[in-house]
Amino acid sequence: MKEIVCSKCKHYFVTWDPLHPKGCKAYNFKTKMIPSVLVKESLGFDCTCFTRKDYQKPKGTYL
């Protein structure tokens, strides 16, 4: 399986909490670690909730 890049997942988010700056909406937690690493260490298997973000060009741009 390929490495999971959380920043490309639609469930990943960044928090304002300096002690827990990264989060996962699918597993409902905030952490200092990369969420997929924490899932692997805690559950013993790779994240099964990874869903690639839909990147769309913002309206009003002409690039």
Q: What is the pTM of this model?
A: 0.78
How far is residue 56 CA from its own chain's centroid?
Answer: 18
pLDDT single digits (tens) 2-53: 788 999 999 999 999 999 999 999 999 999 999 999 999 999 999 999 999 9
- By the 10 Å C-beta count (0-12 exposed, 13-18 middle, 19+ buried), 30 is classed as middle
Which residue type sits at 10?
Answer: K
Separation between Cα atoms, residue 42 and residue 15, nearest integer Å: 21
Residues with Cβ < 8 Å from 27, sequence gap 6 or more? Answer: 11, 35, 39, 47, 49
